[in-house]
Structure 1
């Protein structure tokens, strides 16, 4: 008889063996280190531009993204992601004319023209006619819906200064991809963001925990023909904006609102930019933000070391990829946990074209479609590694772990990208590694099959260990109860 994993006799024997507590040979063992501490998890999030400009009045999307409820959508039921972080985009566009001068941004897609509040340069007084606080209602509404559902961390971020602060009046970028902000508007860019933060606090019931003045500022692809807002900044100008922003926030009583920087496209560029700042600029930065577009490359560890040396945290403030299966998302998230050690992680476009969106949608046509498999892959992380948990070392790039002290629960998320194999999880270093024979609930998602987010009750503690079989291209989450560090 051929002992194949498709052989029902063998499967029965394996099940009996598991229940009796004798492990099948594991392809590898992950030992969780209870003495480690990679920070207290601040949460999971999403940027609200551009999708919330179009769909910001749809409460079902708010339920899907910002609760852990089971939500009806498109004829099915989705497990809410439970995001608690919303990144609000301060727009750079307006349609008004100022002394015959108008915005030059014909290449920016309509859905990506984010309305800005400071519509002309006549006055910095937010109560004057130079400011229009009624614009961008949909994005603002989604932020309010998120807060009503439990979101408790908000970040204000900018892709470009207001169009009239730009040398060519084009918030898509300069003609040659160089710096586009006018020198006399460097401080005004900081004034703009600080004024929004203050207005949000006083009028919207939103306190921004941080303000980010840049979006991939060292990149040179922000040109006048871009289809979205963007702006290149030199290191010297970044430093000026950071200093001015810290001062403007302080002058408005927002001393606890951090200046985050610099939302570079990759880990390596983020490190280079950080190392280019002098000590004064670095001290004005309350958190390092970086984007995850370097994929499996880049020195995540060096950026983490730089942040640790400065005594500040890291957020992966923007991640996206075109892989609808969620394979790349899982790979890069697990590498972040093992090397970058962020305390928060945010996705870029919750609703977007095939591959990029968690839900497929056409922003220009304002139409929603189906849910991508990567939605369920992300749910494996967001629904289980929750705010306030302590992130632990696992010694393996395919495994992440977090500990909930209040509930004495250990959460492990692991993925297998190779041939099917057993993975054993060793908790022997914990003072109380659960209870022998205790059920370990597990949730499973296949990257390339119809299994979306399935709960299984077939895994049990065997002494100080437990194990599970992983099909190829699978991510699983385990919640181990009665655990003490």
Structure 2
């Protein structure tokens, strides 16, 4: 279990005096890159029925696994879905009850009902109690009473968006009312994401959703920004939650990435099918000075199809292009990876093993060092599905079913980042470990806590001996000691024996290891 300090003879081989074959890893704490906002996951869907229907004992077990820095992975960010009300209107469209959502307000002239979404609210409170630091409220669709077709997803008749033009200001008021309520309840949201994956058409989708072209989006952003300003709410707008990195790119950079002259992104279902523009999000938001200020000089996107796509290796080249594109407008602009799970042909089928855990740990590594993401957020914190979309799984589908809690290795591998790379830390320079098929390493330093955290991902089947050379710390080099935490086939973020920095550390095969120096 996490936090165990039980050692064995095998553990004594993790740190050894000398090894001439050891990789030399050099870390310079004084050379800083992006500031870290946090690591998180979403409470959407499953958390409502689980939070409303499960026993207190089992809900607390789930909350501990997700949020506790002693018993679990210590997420520092939590995503709360503000529902559109499909639970009342869309049962014939959204058959799966786990994908429908209530709304706090069911009509323009109806009162707010803050008892709605009780399950999600339980986990929101549980996250706060366990030390989660950053909270994001996100929206898949405006409330159904604001939509053109009266549903929580569009159809082909509604044009570029399902949000009625005359309800744009009402939408801003609704979101601000929700934010204000939770602030009064001592559960303030740091960020509000009013739009999700706007490039998708979402027509009669099996979940809540909505498309928006660029002009539609900017109208929502302006209305929401001014409403927040009028109320002195300090919640920052998060935008655009683009469905994939390629949709972010300027046309010329996208063309260079694809190798096709004058090509433009048009992969989203809405592109070309509906009026307006559904691409070039970096340019449209960071390149527009008015909007850039309204969204905190930050761009957010989902990393779907960003590793391999149609036989194409995108893992590193695409991330380099995203960073290049952001730097074109402002090297100081922040980038968030705000949602990911495995889609496509590899999506179906739960995988609780290190195979998926290592694939995701590698993807996180390159999001941190190439895209220079300030935040990294997984999709479903808990999933009832036979799919690679959860950190924790359950076979619970209806009241009366067993309240199963099934941990994945991915949960604990994410914990190698989330537990130790805390908000306010900076990624710092690390050289000597950047092999996507072997050993990858990134380092983070939080001056406030005087803590250095080094995350090593060993994708290979071989032990990787490393020797760490650290410069720039306010400590005597000879006094530096590291505490290892290992996730592998045999361990779930397990703490091992402290070792001095002058020793060689053997990174186990097929593992994720965090070395904490303090």
Calculate the TM-score normalised by the size of structure 2. 0.77
The structure 1 residue matched to 2:444, chosen from 393, 402, 411, is 402
Quick one: which of 290, 300, 303 aligns to 2:319? 300
Match of 1:290 in 2: 301
- 1:402-433 deviations in Å (ceiling 9; x for gaps): 11324433211111112414242442533567
Distance 1:142 1:15 in 2: 41
Distance 1:336 1:434, change over 3 A: farther
How is 1:77-476 mapped onto 2 (pairs within 5 angstroms)?
A: 80-93=72-85, 106-121=93-108, 123=109, 129-175=110-156, 179-202=161-184, 204-220=185-201, 222-224=202-204, 226-254=205-233, 256-271=234-249, 272-277=280-285, 278-286=288-296, 287-296=298-307, 297=314, 299-304=318-323, 307=326, 309-310=329-330, 311-321=332-342, 322=347, 323-324=351-352, 325=354, 326-352=357-383, 353-354=385-386, 355-362=388-395, 364-365=397-398, 367-395=403-431, 396-397=433-434, 398-430=440-472, 435-436=477-478, 439-446=481-488, 449-457=489-497, 459-462=499-502, 466-476=503-513
Structure label with greater radius of gyration = 1
**Alpha-carbon offset, residue 379 of structure 1:** 1.8
Partners of 1:159 and 1:137 in 2: CA distance: 18
Aligned length: 438
How far is 1:360 from its partner? Answer: 1.2
Secondary structure of the structure 1 residue equivalent to 2:64: helix
User: Residue 439 and residue 210 in structure 1: after superposition, are their counterparts in 2 closer, same or farther (change >3 A)?
Assistant: closer
For residues 145-174 of structure 1, the C-alpha deviation after alignment (integer angstroms, 9 at most, x for no partner) is 211222232111100111122222221332
1:47 to 42, 51, 67: 42
Aligned residues of 1:209 and 1:258 also touching (Cα < 8 A): yes
Which runs of structure 1 show a deviation greater than 6 angstroms over 4 or more consecutive aligned residues? none
SS in 1 for 2:500: coil
Gap runs ≥5 in structure 2: 1-8, 53-58, 250-279, 308-313, 435-439
Give the Cα separation in 1 of the matches to 2:391 and 2:90: 32
Contact 1:105 1:170 in 2 (8 A): no
> Partners in 2 of 1:173 and 1:373 — Cα distance?
37
Q: Distance in 2 between matches of 1:105 and 1:282?
A: 40
**Alpha-carbon distance between aligned partners in 2 of 1:276 and 1:437, rounded to the nearest angstrom:** 50
Shift of 1:319: 2.2
Contact 1:338-1:393 within 8 A present in 2 as well: no
Change (3 A) 1:41 1:371: same
Instruction: Provide the rounded CA distance (Å) in 2 between the counterparts of 1:235 and 1:430.
Output: 45
Name the CA shift for 1:130/1:239 in 2 (closer, same or farther; >3 Å). same
Q: Kindly tell me: are residues 374 and 260 of structure 1, through their superposed partners in 2, closer, same or farther at Cα, counting changes over 3 Å?
A: same
Q: Secondary structure at the match of 2:482?
A: coil
Contact residue 413 and residue 487 of structure 2 kept, 8 A: yes
Indicate how the Cα distance of structure 1 residues 270 and 187 shifts in structure 2: closer, same or farther if over 3 A, else same: farther
The 8 Å contact of residues 392 and 411 in structure 2, kept in 1 or not, is answered as yes
- Residues 108 and 172 in structure 1, CA contact (< 8 A), matched pair in contact too: no
In structure 1, the gaps of 5 or more residues are 1-10, 71-79, 97-101, 124-128
What is the Cα deviation at residue 248 of structure 1?
Answer: 1.2
- How far off its partner does 1:181 sit? 2.1
* Alpha-carbon distance, 1:237 to partner: 0.3
Offset at 1:179?
2.8
- Kindly indicate whether the alpha-carbon contact (under 8 Å) linking 2:24 and 2:469 is maintained by their aligned counterparts in 1: no
Q: 1:409 to 1:131 in 2, by over 3 A?
A: closer
* Corresponding residue of 2:269: none
RMSD: 2.8
SS at match of 2:125: helix
